[in-house]
Structure 1
Amino acid sequence: MFVTLAVLGISIILFVTGRVRADIVALSALLILILTGILTPAEALTSFSDPLVVMTVGLFVVSGAILRTGLAKMVGRTILKLAGENEERLFFLIIAVTTLIGAFVSNTGTVALMMPIVVSMTMQSDINARRLLMPLAFAGSIGGMFTLIGTAPNLVIQGVLTQNGYTDIKFFSFAPVGTVVFISGILGFWALSKIFLSQKVNMKAKNLSKPLKELAKEYRIRTFTAAITEASGVCDRTLKELRIPEKYSINITGVIRKSAHSRRFILKGEEKSEIAGPQTILHAEDVISVIGSEENVQRFIEDHSLTLIHGAREEPSSMGIAEAVLLPNSGLVDVKVKDSGFRKKYNVNILAINHRRQYRSDNLAHEVMRAGDTLLVQGRWKDLARLHQDYENIVLVGQPLEEAAKVTLNHKAPLAAMIMLLMIASMAMNILPPVVAIISAALMMIITGCIRNMEEAYQLINWESVVLLAAMLPMATALEKTGTVSLVTGGLVDAFSGMGVYGLLAGVYLCTSMLTLFISNTATAVLFAPIAFKVAQSVGASPYPFLMAVTVAASMCFASPFSTPSNVMVMTPGRYSFVDYVRVGGPMQILMGVIMIIVLPLIFPF
């Protein structure tokens, strides 16, 4: 028991610090349990074929197809248009639409889909985005409470019930709980956001094609413009040859060429702008945009006989600057900027990186990008739009509304919708076992071309989440084998049984809610679901309210920005601090717990 608890404790500490990938932590813990003889190899590896893991893989493919065909975005954009420029109407519609989509699509994918549209609408209408983005992230979690496939903890408790002979958990069995959560959430967040998030924090950016002035101070970058002279040593050389970032810790972000028929730069229509890249060749009389400290830029200008142009230049309307949030499952996570192929793939520049309010712009090529980082990117709006389409890696915010609201509706979208509806119907009416229905739907998405090929399907799967789940399931087995589950169960019964069965339910909810502040909701549900089942058994109560308490408490984690990927995603675009999450999310997490302890036994009697 001691070894198991030590492995679990160290794993939780590593999960909290985030210094090591969660899947590596879980696999390492699993290996230690095998090497110490607590688990046999068969017990440890059986989970990789567990129906729960297989369903999770299939759901990534199905929800990815719904997002990729543009179907979900079309629904979201169409409904949000009803809000107009009314902040209160927009608030309620955002919560409702996000909850609706989140019932069938992962909360990370839902928020990635909705956030660019919401930010652009607020900028266009001068509505305070701070009041909307945090509730948007929370609504993604609330949506998961409506259906069996809405969130991984729902699948976890369904698995525990099935293993113990309970088979009457249906696709929409969670809907009554989800309805209560939705009503409580929308009213609570409306009041708390009104109190704590209504103040404006430099969010106004009406002219979205030129927001650099608004962002430069926050990202601590300075922009300079310099003209290349005939005598300059940079003439007729590529930026790759010049190695300017390595020598001067500055970046050349753009070049403005003079037209063939004019020697002037400032008249509209007489210049050609381009994003600077490694193969960009500099010529005499070009004007370059430079990002860096004044000291380093001045040294570069003097060394190469350039002419500093004082005063701001008018950027072409086709050029823009926006923020891009790096998703937790992005292939760009833990990759250096210079190795990311960012400029080659998207034809945009990374000007600076915001890592949890630590801003970096010097020596950017050697910076390692982390999950949740916000990148300040520059490029043509048409290139930034291509970046926005890569929703598995990045969420682009700050686009003009017409760009953010564009929907590339694939002609396969109706087919994708039909496949998903058939999957839901087969699960709701028990025509097929859930795992068969989900895998069938995923396969049909590939066969019918809603997803182009198997390679694309594999790219849609968040393998870190899959491996984390598969490696954590044996941990629950180890806790059971070593008597740890019985020990914790006994402790909970001793501590809360004096308050009756409601007290025990409160104890299960409280412990789950506290743990999910520090580790993923999936891992929390895997650890606490068996304990909740044992607690119910020990007092002769139905396991349903106790297991429902686990899934709600594991998913409704609002008090920390780092408890869910969705919370992290909105932190920088919303200009939130950690305290903002405590002020808004903390009371909601407590309120949700109180309501659930009262309501769950009414829906699922003891």
Structure 2
Amino acid sequence: MQIVIVLSLLFIAIILFATEKISVDIVTLIMLIVLCTTRIITPEEAFAGFSSDFIVILASIFVLTAALEETGILEFMIARLVKIASRGANILLFLVMLISGTISAFMNNTTVTAMFVSPLMGVSRKLKFSASKILMPLAFASILGGTCTLIGTSTNVAVSGYIDKAGLAPVGMFEISGIGLIIFVVGMLYMMTIGRRLLPNHQDSALTEEYKMQKYITEVLVLPNSPLVNQLVYASDLSKKKFKMLNIIRGKEKFLPDYRTRIQANDILLVEGEIDDLITIRETKGIEIMADVVLEDALQSPDIRLAEILITAHSNLIRHTIREIDFQRRYGLTVLAVSRQGETLRTQISDVKLKLGDLLLVQGAQERLNYLRSNQHLAVLEEFSQVLFRKRKGIITISAFVLAIILGSFSVLPLSISFLGAAVISILTGCISTDRAYEAIDWRLLILIGGMTAFGAAMDKSGAAQFLANGIVDWLAPFGKISVLAGFIFLTVFLTQPMSNAAAALVIVPVALQTAAALDSNPRTFAIAVMLAASVSLVTPFEPSCILVYGPGKYRFSDFLKVGSGLTLILILIIIFMVPVFWPL
């Protein structure tokens, strides 16, 4: 009965993770509640994962990464890279993949990707080549770079923690570097040759054309006898009819309204609304429709600009609507449209819950856009402008990070203590504030990993892992141990589509360990293979790094399928045949 409960929970969790109807951390906590209620695991076993040292390692790395962002040292390095690479597209592609992959070996790959997107958009426009030729390679390189060290991805750290509890030695800091470098170099070579020819060449277009805005915008002249006169813009009759006020032309002045602006006689209002609604207001008393279609230059002036803003990985806007955020008042910018994975959302965008990788088309004063460049939660996709580089604090943070790696790698201190110490040093020296440090930690990911670690224990305790292992052995063992290993690798790659990489790995590892025991094989070989397989699926744009570049690169789903399928298959074959070389079966 317990096996049925555990496998049913797994099936339901996969569906909920894929649909995202409920947040993944809440799904994980519900699973723990059910497992404890049915007495499959005890409360101590359910929460053991949250007190593990690998949770401390992950939280500390989040803080150190944020500290490096705060000091501006990474942006300083990226600015230098962009300057060097501006000599041509080929050298740019090579250096971007090399540097982003190298940094991602020690930092969260999503953060690394987010920091490169804006400057690469700027340099691609300067060199007059499509950003779609560089952003997908950036995402792929940052993902594959994470396979080179223990701390390269949260999946590596989570699997290391799990096998440690299972009685195996934890994964060493550079234990996987040999095969990780092979994976990374092969990925680079593929993207520099075959992948480069398969990459799309999506050209830039005017923002108003790209977001299909022309047919929704019109100019309205407010006559002296209009009831709109003296009404507050955002409480006016037009706003109540769900029209969005974009600009006001008053005499020779063009400006953005705010919540205190009142409409005056003879104002020309640039408004946005549905076609049917625009037709119905033509006969409204006291207004005159001046133009049905307004092009991009009507939305811009020397002081008012259009820009695209990318929602980055740790943005506090994720899962909130534009209305809840009160975006216009908070940032002084008006959101005109939202682009999500190639689809432009044009209606009721104030009620759309924002997601990682969303692109917002905004309009506002140039000074507001300049101010937004220093915001850690958003990236302005215009010409790259480096934020303040605090050299001394940057050196302190990176020195603490490197020292933590050295002390942990040579077992002078446990990894958890060395990275925790580095994180505390970055706070005490003012490289990052305490509030920003807590904000930088991805609590949802920690809950997911801690909870899925407990679920792995439940699979062991209930016999579900043994049940699945016996089925896999009966099916694949006649074809040899390497076939069984390959089966786990393909299954892991498949499960990373509906689930996060860490969750998929933590579901498969308990079964893989039981299977290795049944085959009298090396359990470490199976664990490492599953861990690496969780990081090489590049077929779909579901990876956070891929989501971040989807909109700016104007990619389609088929672009990832075309470019990533061959590379994913090659990397799977490398894992199948090279892992047993490094860790014999």
Confirm or deny a common fold (TM above 0.5): yes
Instruction: Confirm or deny: 8 A CA contact 2:65 2:107 kept in the other structure.
Output: yes
Aligned to 2:473: 493
Q: Which amino acid aligns with 2:380?
A: L
Matching of residue 421 in structure 1 with residue 402 in structure 2: yes
Matching of residue 573 in structure 1 with residue 552 in structure 2: yes
Instruction: Confirm or deny: 8 A CA contact 2:320 2:354 kept in the other structure.
Output: yes
Structure 1 unaligned runs (5+)?
Answer: 206-210, 259-264, 266-270
* Distance in 2 (alpha carbons) for counterparts of 1:220 and 1:107: 37
**In 2 relative to 1, CA 569–241 (structure 1 residues): closer, same or farther, beyond 3 Å?**
same
**In 2 relative to 1, CA 221–477 (structure 1 residues): closer, same or farther, beyond 3 Å?**
farther
Deviations 1:207-253 (A, max 9, x none): xxxx4333242x67633334444444333332133153331x32112
**In 2 relative to 1, CA 283–85 (structure 1 residues): closer, same or farther, beyond 3 Å?**
farther
Deviations 1:524-579 (A, max 9, x none): 121122233333333333333322211211111211222x2112222122222222
Of 105-114 and 227-236, deviating more is 227-236
Offset of residue 19 of structure 1? 1.3
Aligned to 1:223: 217
Of 328-337 and 464-473, deviating more is 328-337
Instruction: Confirm or deny: 8 A CA contact 1:126 1:204 kept in the other structure.
Output: no
Aligned to 1:268: none
Question: Secondary structure of the residue that 1:225 maps to in structure 2?
Answer: strand
Question: Secondary structure of the residue that 2:380 maps to in structure 1?
Answer: strand
Instruction: Confirm or deny: 8 A CA contact 1:22 1:468 kept in the other structure.
Output: yes
* Distance in 2 (alpha carbons) for counterparts of 1:164 and 1:293: 59
Aligned to 2:244: 251
* Distance in 2 (alpha carbons) for counterparts of 1:549 and 1:388: 41
Structure 2 unaligned runs (5+)?
Answer: none
Deviations 1:393-441 (A, max 9, x none): x3332x1x2xx24232134212111111111111122111011112111
Q: Which amino acid aligns with 2:262?
A: I
Of 63, 66, 69, the residue aligned with 1:67 is 69
Aligned to 2:429: 448
Offset of residue 168 of structure 1? 6.8
* Distance in 2 (alpha carbons) for counterparts of 1:543 and 1:170: 16
Deviations 1:255-288 (A, max 9, x none): 3444xxxxxx3xxxxx3x4332222223344443
Deviations 1:333-357 (A, max 9, x none): 3323222121122111110123444
Of 423, 435, 448, the residue aligned with 2:416 is 435
Instruction: Confirm or deny: 8 A CA contact 1:413 1:450 kept in the other structure.
Output: yes
Of 514-523 and 300-309, deviating more is 300-309
Q: Which amino acid aligns with 1:157?
A: V
* Distance in 1 (alpha carbons) for counterparts of 2:364 and 2:194: 37
Q: Which amino acid aligns with 2:337?
A: A
* Distance in 1 (alpha carbons) for counterparts of 2:468 and 2:379: 41
Superposed counterparts of 1:455-474, under 5 Å? 455-474=435-454
Deviations 1:300-355 (A, max 9, x none): 46534246257655532333222223345533233232221211221111101234
CA-based RMSD: 2.3
Aligned to 2:499: 519
Aligned to 1:291: 272
Offset of residue 471 of structure 1? 1.4
Aligned to 1:261: none
Matching of residue 340 in structure 1 with residue 325 in structure 2: yes
* Distance in 2 (alpha carbons) for counterparts of 1:193 and 1:588: 8
Matching of residue 560 in structure 1 with residue 540 in structure 2: yes
Deviations 1:90-124 (A, max 9, x none): 11122112112212221111111111111121122
Superposed counterparts of 1:242-281, under 5 Å? 242=236, 244-247=238-241, 249-258=242-251, 265=252, 271=253, 273-281=254-262
TM-score normalised per structure 1: 0.89
Q: Which amino acid aligns with 1:305?
A: I
Aligned to 2:519: 539
Offset of residue 85 of structure 1? 4.8
* Distance in 2 (alpha carbons) for counterparts of 1:449 and 1:357: 40
Aligned to 1:213: 208
Of 40-49 and 377-386, deviating more is 377-386
Aligned to 1:208: none
Of 126-135 and 487-496, deviating more is 487-496
Deviations 1:431-463 (A, max 9, x none): 1101111211111111111112x2221111111
Aligned residues: 578
Structure 1 stretches of 4+ moved >6 Å = none
Instruction: Confirm or deny: 8 A CA contact 1:335 1:368 kept in the other structure.
Output: yes
Aligned to 1:233: 227
**In 2 relative to 1, CA 256–450 (structure 1 residues): closer, same or farther, beyond 3 Å?**
farther
Q: Which amino acid aligns with 1:213?
A: T
* Distance in 1 (alpha carbons) for counterparts of 2:273 and 2:126: 30
Matching of residue 353 in structure 1 with residue 353 in structure 2: no
Of 78, 86, 89, the residue aligned with 2:88 is 86
Q: Which amino acid aligns with 2:564?
A: G
TM-score normalised per structure 2: 0.92
Aligned to 1:587: 566
